[in-house]
Amino acid sequence: MKKIYLDYAATTPVKANVLEKMMPFFTDKFANPSSIHSFGEEAVFALDDSRKAVAQFLNSHQREVVFTASATEANNMAVLGASNNGHIITSSFEHEAVLGPCKTHTDVTYLPVYKEGVVKVEDVLKEIKENTTLISIMYVNSEIGTIQPIKEIGEALEEVNKNRKNKILFHTDAVQAANYLSCDVNNLKVDLLTLSGHKIYGPKGVGVLYVREGSKISQILYGAHQERGHRPGTENIPAIVGMGEAIRSIDVNDSKKTKTMRDKVIDGITSSISGAALNGSRENRIANNINITFTGVEGESMLIALNEEGIAVSTGSACASNSLSPSHVLLSLGLSHRAAHGSLRITLGSMTTEKEIDELLTKLPPIVERLREISGR
């Protein structure tokens, strides 16, 4: 049985050209970039080359690119480093890598996202206080794929900051956005931005935090002076090289083909399965995300049944897949606990084919029907 992978929001495979670029840095070019000898210089060159690739993608200076061990670490650096014990504004459906560090603070405002799953700019502005130091709003939600008005928030905040003594920093988690949307930091008007290697067909174990020059963020890790003091520790050169090559390989034009397949899945499921409804806005949605609630059936049961048919999907964020609690993202849309438990996240990628989509649309309806009969709903 041929397996079909439709969980690209959880992680992506490493592209062949990315792996090829990484391999020499495990063996022949293995040196520590902090070493002054010629071996170390080779590692430094590779580090700088990847930093240049990321900077070009972000339209930033190379010195503003900080490599980390993950996007989770980068988000923690942004929130804990930029908050400075002040007031934080974030959304109610951020990734746990943002919500977690926010929970360590006592003065945090969690914005509603409404049924469409989109933050309103006016809600952000009305919550700004004298002691507000950080606004963190994700670019694309990791579970339902809705796109947030980052540019509009950034532009509005730029005007607010003109009349403030202490600038409010603006952070966005762009992990799910990078493959399909522009991450030009000057256009978005952000001060901090997070990326992840394994969401863009690169390796796991590497992330990026963009830090706009002049942005004051406190150090949260100590021990050495790598990454201009932001992130101490010997750089993971093979992973960073992979990140650079993956960034170079991004083609946002791929989104048109992916969006066509996404719409086929949404239309196919909602027209063939009664009680199936899309979660979040269809218009303000990333090209590869489908998140649907099915009445009268558990999401985990559907996931297991699809897996037995060789089709891999998800019930939400992979980071929370071991939790029995309903998704905080779906609850933030106003769904009941029961409805939130009856949802599937299907995410497409560059290797997804029409044949695989057709297979999903053939296999899913009878699975839902059978599970509803078993549950008696």
Q: Are 185 and 150 in contact (CB under 8 A)?
A: no
Q: Give which of 137, 140, 105 is closest to 124, Cα–Cα.
A: 137
Q: Give which of 311, 300, 314 is closest to 363, Cα–Cα.
A: 311
Q: CA–CA separation, 184 vs 40, rounded Å?
A: 32
How many CA atoms, within 13 angstroms, populate the side-chain half-sphere of residue 228? 16
For tokens 């993956």, what's the residue? 246
Which residues are bridge partners to 186 per DSSP? none
- Of 23, 224, 319, 351, the active-site residue reads 319
Q: CA–CA separation, 63 vs 51, rounded Å?
A: 8
Secondary structure tally for the chain: helices H, strands E: 13, 12
In the residue annotation, 183 being an active-site residue is answered as no
For tokens 């580090």, what's the residue? 47
122 phi and psi, to 5 degrees?
A: -65, -30
What is the DSSP-derived secondary structure letter of residue 274? T
Residues ≥6 apart with Cβ < 8 Å to 374: none
Structure tokens at 122: 């006016």
Which helix (H) or strand (E) segment holds residue 65: the answer is: strand 65-68
Q: Are 140 and 275 in contact (CB under 8 A)?
A: no
CA distances 232 to 192, 221, 223, 319, Å, are: 18, 7, 6, 25
Q: Are 371 and 324 in contact (CB under 8 A)?
A: no
Q: CA–CA separation, 246 vs 53, rounded Å?
A: 9
Bridge-based pairing state of the strands 276-278 and 289-294: antiparallel
What are the catalytic residues? 319
